[in-house]
Amino acid sequence: MAFNSSIVIHAEKLGEDGGVIDRFTHKSLLPEDMDPLSVSGALMPDGVLVISVKSLSTSLSRP
């Protein structure tokens, strides 16, 4: 999720009973030349989360 030029990653691990047994939250500030509306993410098969974001100059130059 992108909010006010920040990316916030939040994850919860659920136990067998459905209760939350672990939480992870990380917030990173985007550089000023990045477009927060272009943020996308993909979870790889090995469990690695890949976050992508476009620069404002790239986003503004598209029709």
- The confidence band for 57, taking pLDDT boundaries of 50, 70 and 90, is confident
Look at the block and give the residue holding tokens 């000023």.
32
pTM of the model: 0.63
**For 6-22, what is the mean pLDDT?**
92
A 10 A CB-CB count for 34 gives 20
Q: Determine contact, residues 18/33, Cβ cutoff 8 Å.
A: no
As a whole number of angstroms, the distance between CA 47 and CA 16 comes to 20
Q: What is the pLDDT of residue 5?
A: 84
Altogether, the residues listed in the chain come to a count of 63
Q: What is the pLDDT of residue 4?
A: 74
Delineate the domains of the chain, giving CATH numbers in brackets.
Answer: 2-61 (2.60.40.790)
